[in-house]
Amino acid sequence: MFGFIKRFLGDNNESEIRRMRGIVEKINALEPQMKQLSDGSLYGKTSDFKDRIANGESLDSILPEAFATVREASRRVLGMRHFDVQMIGGICLHEGKIAEMRTGEGKTLVATLAVYLNALTGKGVHMITVNDYLAKRDSEWMGRLYRSLGLTVGLITHDMDFPSRKFAYNCDITFGTNNEFGFDYLRDNMVVSKEQMVQRELNYAIIDEVDSILIDEARTPLIISGPGAKSTDMYAIMAKAVANLKEGEDYVLNEKEKTVSPNDSAVAKVEKALNIKNLYDSANIEMSHCFTQALRAKAMMKRDRDYVVRDGEIVIVDEFTGRLMFGRRYSEGLHQAIEAKEGVKIQRESQTLATITFQNYFRMYEKLAGMTGTAKTEENEFLKIYKLPVIVVPTNKPIKRIDYPDVIYKTKKAKMKAVINTIKECHAKGQPVLVGTTSIVQSEEVSAQLKRQGIDHKVLNAKYHEMEAEIIKDAGQKGAVTIATNMAGRGTDISLGEGVAEVGGLYVIGTERHESRRIDNQLRGRAGRQGDPGASRFFLSLEDDLMRLFGSDNIANIMEKLGMSEDDPIEHKLVTRSIEQAQKKVEARNFDIRKHVIEYDDVMNQQREVIYDQRRKILLGENLYENIIEMVKRIIDSQMDRYANEKLYPEEWTLDGLIQEAEDIYAPKGTLVKEQLEAMSRDELKETLYKVAKDNYDNREKLFGSEVMRDLERIIMLKVVDNKWMEHLDHMDMLREGISLRAYGQRNPLVEYKIEGHDMFQAMIDNIQEDIAKLMYRVNVVREQPQPEDRLKNATVNHGESISKSPQAKSNNIGRNDLCPCGSGKKYKNCCGKNK
């Protein structure tokens, strides 16, 4: 039925490709005249285009000429001429789409077209890659092309100093990793003067390996954090308490849903071990949280699969690439729980200063585009969350790779035997083999078997990107055997060595199916680049995680009925199809999880935008006098509602409370006399309070001078906003952690989170206004003007491995007996710290 509709209406991808081919014809028609231009005339095209844009011409109208210019410059500078299909890819990127292009189709060159065209606006283009190595390589390689056309090129790296970073962002084109761009955005919203900001407006970005960043990394928040004050003792105690709990008897492990649930016996054993009556009593909230994470660490987190222990530290293993993720920590105390389980030093939890997910960071760009070898299977997600359509760009040459059906064995042992035999057969005839594994343990197992067989091979150690690229690059040489995790070496082509095409090209072996078809397709795509021959096959067993958890029952039944032995495989397209159906189920579930995450994060994102927008206005030097006066008026309105409500008779007003609170914030002592206030109407009373507050503020301005007052307003507003926002992040984390329990009361957790999150945000805004007003009326000018605390001084950057409570950080702590940094002259404990 759907096939008929598709044939009747036509395929949208095909119609888009046809439309773009028409534009490519216009570009091709310009090629002869471009070849006639001197280098100087070609260079001059850039200023000509910029003038036309300044005079109102659109980027779309100059696209054919601009693309033809880049093609000619590339031919002269790099010795590479863009193919027609690469032009189509460039059009996709310019139009804010994802270009799906097979491995080896030259995505790096494709990007130059859209980057050049959009850089002509002068608003900046960000070229985003997955690691520093690729960012540096591409900025140097393609930078030659851009500079030959008069554009400036910058590179952002993690160890760069401030002047270099600022310079890089002011270039026409800026290369860097997704992490660096995201962290710089957060840092810009923590600085204490506008001169410290580095990023311009987020104009246009092209994301290389877009699926890796926007899908695989979607749930990982970027976090700037500082050391917290909580003790780590409870994690060590809880690790001992759960050590002897048994699966089935004390808890239920659901591998499919990735959850662990304790039963009554587990709770009773822990309560006995800790000598407490009720683990879930409100007084034991911290203890019950530690118990949850200790149980997760014990039951779900596996050493050498999810993490490794290196030099006395827990290092996370990336589930997609197998890379060791140095510097990253699990959030919500899970990392501490694993440290306690493994007996290494437990590091303190930290406090979040600023956080954002990649989902919300990249949605802030005016225009976004991406490229990858595998995106079509996730098109629904790209469209719904990022409004990014996926266009499958045709290959320059027909694909010759043979994708064999999967073969399935009863046991892992039989599967491994078949994998080794296949490698031996290929190796004997000189055919290179790339073995894709899903974990470090599996890589080491294959390596050990090959060593026993005396077969030379390389195991990809993805610790260093340069080394990774070199190993992957040589994987196409005659007789080479390379073992790598499924996605390792992305962005590096495997070129076939001499005589390899004659023996069948690169043979890719998958030792297990990933949860996502996209990851499997990436592994397959390593073979058969640019029309080269190649082959791929997945070897599976009924004991593999995907088969065990998602639908191996039917296949197991068939094997039983046929009386097949351990070494007899099943090989049929129907089997491959049924596995792909299982993968689709998992992909749908994972999409739901990511969608769920963004629904929650959108609540925080709206609040973040409000705070960061206000903070930017403060930094950029808006006149804050009117803001302060408006804040004080709102405080007075709130006081009137509480102490002299319009529904009350004047004799029912609580004027003593009103006077006390007014003197606490904005009224000099003795200016408000109860007897005089009693004789006023409600409107007269409000106007009197307004006047007292404004006159007092204006008197302070006369005393200190306008310039000093403007500085004080900026300093105090930044200090209060930053402190209150930091507290609010913690409060929202705590709300998020417990909100799922509302479902037991037949209430929608997301709706409850939105309502309570809004109320908490509003309360924070009220507190911000009151604190700013109090400080502005109390502050005394000392000889050396106090500056807002530079929270970036000792802050660290992190990637939380879940959306909630994450690795966090704070700068210098203020002692309770130190002078308050607001400049009041009081001790911190008697001033801004009295409620802490």
For 641, half-sphere exposure in the C-beta direction (CA atoms, 13 angstrom radius) is 6
Residue 602 corresponds to which tokens in the numbers above?
């959108």
Q: Which residues pair with 357 in a beta bridge?
A: 221
Query: Is 592 flagged in the annotation as binding?
Result: no
SS3 content of the chain, % helix, strand, coil (to 5): 55, 15, 35
Residue 108 marked as a ligand binder: yes
Render the burial of 108-135: b for 16+ CB within 10 Å, e for the rest. Answer: bbbbbbbbbbbbbbeebbbbbbbbbbbb
What Cα–Cα distance (Å) separates residue 548 from each residue in 214, 446, 513? 29, 21, 12
Distances in whole angstroms, Cα of residue 769 to Cα of each of 589, 615, 634, 691, 762:
43, 14, 9, 18, 11
Q: Answer whether 709's CB lies under 8 Å from 781's CB.
A: no
Does 357 appear as a known binding residue? Answer: no
Nearest to 757 by CA among 546, 599, 589, 521: 599
CA gyration radius for the chain? 31
- State how far the alpha carbon of 146 is from the alpha carbons of 117, 139, 150, 726, in Å: 11, 9, 7, 42
Residue 25 known to bind ligand? no
Structural tokens at position 445: 């197992």
Q: Is 438 annotated as a binding residue?
A: no
The answer to whether residues 2 and 379 touch, using CB atoms and an 8 Å cutoff, is no
Phi, psi (deg, nearest 5) at residue 759: -65, -40
Q: Name the residue type at position 522.
A: Q
Q: What angle do CA 659, 665, 669 make, to 5 degrees?
A: 55
Q: Which residues contact 802 (CB under 8 A, 6 or more apart)?
A: 219, 330, 331, 332, 334
525 is in an annotated binding site: no
Torsion, Cα of 38, 43, 46, 49 (10° steps): -10
Tell me which H or E stretch contains 208.
Answer: strand 204-208
Question: Among 554, 132, 146, 207, which Cα is nearest to 382's?
Answer: 207
Please say whether the beta carbons of 341 and 355 come within 8 A. Answer: no
| Ranges assigned E (strand) in 3-157 | 98-100, 125-129, 153-155
104 is in an annotated binding site: yes
Tokens found for residue 484: 């790598």
- The counts of H helices and E strands in the chain are 31, 23
State the Cα–Cα distance between residues 750 and 561, nearest whole angstrom. 48
Question: What separation in angstroms does the CA of 98 have from each of 208, 611, 654, 704, 721?
Answer: 10, 32, 64, 57, 38
For the beta carbon of residue 619, count every other beta carbon within 10 angstroms: 20
Give the annotated binding-site residues.
Answer: 86, 104-108, 493
Give the annotated binding-site residues for ATP.
Answer: 86, 104-108, 493
